[in-house]
Structure 1
């Protein structure tokens, strides 16, 4: 079955390195917009930190929808080593922010690369993941009155809502594991008009 591992919930690890406190926080993101929202949320939570560096892969492992940022650290010493770890870790749809509270000791270029890359590795060693099965999206047209019930069925069958379009009715694009798709379609066929994309 086609698919890949994705994070379950938010995960955080901390470590003191050379007097500085490093905090790595990881979360699942399925788009660059979600990744930006997560990074912004971490910057608000740790607004008093010296740096909040980030990297993300917003699709399957190694996907081109990715990004990184050094947030004031010397160029290439934080975002790139973090991104390198994410690209090769085998986990998809993931963003990591490594927060640093400077402790008075300079780590040097090599020390920063090791610290930021190492924090991501440590976070990934402990993060809970689940297998996400990929399949072709299903397009649904749903009455507003049935929207909540259809969304519950999507969740119950291990799927996710990819997009919603609100007009006279609600257009949904959902992705489900192949083995769940037939049963899902049978269960919601009484309340929705559907076409597979």
Structure 2
């Protein structure tokens, strides 16, 4: 589905808590579409769990070849937290998602293998709890049309799965529309015949 102007992400936010050898692992999952959004989510989780021993995280945004992936072990041994969390995201084929796992150390060391299994396991559980949804990649453009032509433009837009995001009704109608990325040339040439783009 990802190659066809669509991607799979989480359907909702989710949180899961797992106790392993007296340590508490809390995984938080949330959708994000930009790095700024992802980092804000991470900061908020770090603030909420500032008493945690570690706040490890991973995120994946966008699709190849322009995807952004980032992860952090946040003080855990290298490769035992951030990468396993990212692995859970990738194994489910998700993007535009952030996972933060806060660990409250319970006094018993888990070892490298134990940490990898703990972080990837709790991340996967939280991602599965959040569910999956397929979203269409869209593009926003502004156009101007006459009042008599408005109905025709709206019907045509609707037939391609597009929608009006904002409208300004002055002497002419100024529309901000959102359309699926892969609508093709036929759509643009037809819309252009009825309206003009406001670039």
| Shorter-chain TM-score above 0.5 | yes
In the alignment, is residue 108 of structure 1 matched against residue 115 of structure 2? Answer: no
In the alignment, is residue 95 of structure 1 matched against residue 89 of structure 2? Answer: no
Alpha-carbon contact 1:4-1:61 (below 8 Å) kept: no
Alpha-carbon contact 2:101-2:123 (below 8 Å) kept: yes
- Which of 120, 127, 132 is 2:130 aligned to? 127
Alignment map for 1:136-155 (pairs within 5 Å): 137-140=139-142
Q: 1:115 to 1:171 in 2, by over 3 A?
A: farther
- Which of 26, 29, 45 is 2:29 aligned to? 26
Counterpart residue number, 1:154: none
Q: 1:42 to 1:159 in 2, by over 3 A?
A: farther
CA shift for structure 1 position 121: 1.2
- Which of 46, 50, 55 is 2:49 aligned to? 46
Matched residue count: 167
Counterpart residue number, 1:5: 8
* TM superposition score normalised by structure 2: 0.70
* Structure 2 residue runs without a partner (length 5+): 145-160, 166-173
Alpha-carbon contact 2:162-2:178 (below 8 Å) kept: no
Separation in 2, partners of 1:50, 1:14: 15
- Which of 33, 38, 59 is 1:35 aligned to? 38
CA shift for structure 1 position 171: 11
- Which of 65, 70, 76 is 1:67 aligned to? 70
Quick check: which has more Rg, 1 or 2? 2
* TM superposition score normalised by structure 1: 0.71
Q: 1:50 to 1:178 in 2, by over 3 A?
A: same
Q: Which runs of 4+ in 1 moved over 3 A?
A: 60-64, 157-161, 170-179
Deviations 1:24-52 (A, max 9, x none): 00000112221111100100111111111
Q: 1:99 to 1:141 in 2, by over 3 A?
A: farther
Alpha-carbon contact 1:58-1:94 (below 8 Å) kept: yes
Q: CA RMSD in A?
A: 3.5
Instruction: Name the SS of the counterpart of 1:99 in structure 2.
Output: strand
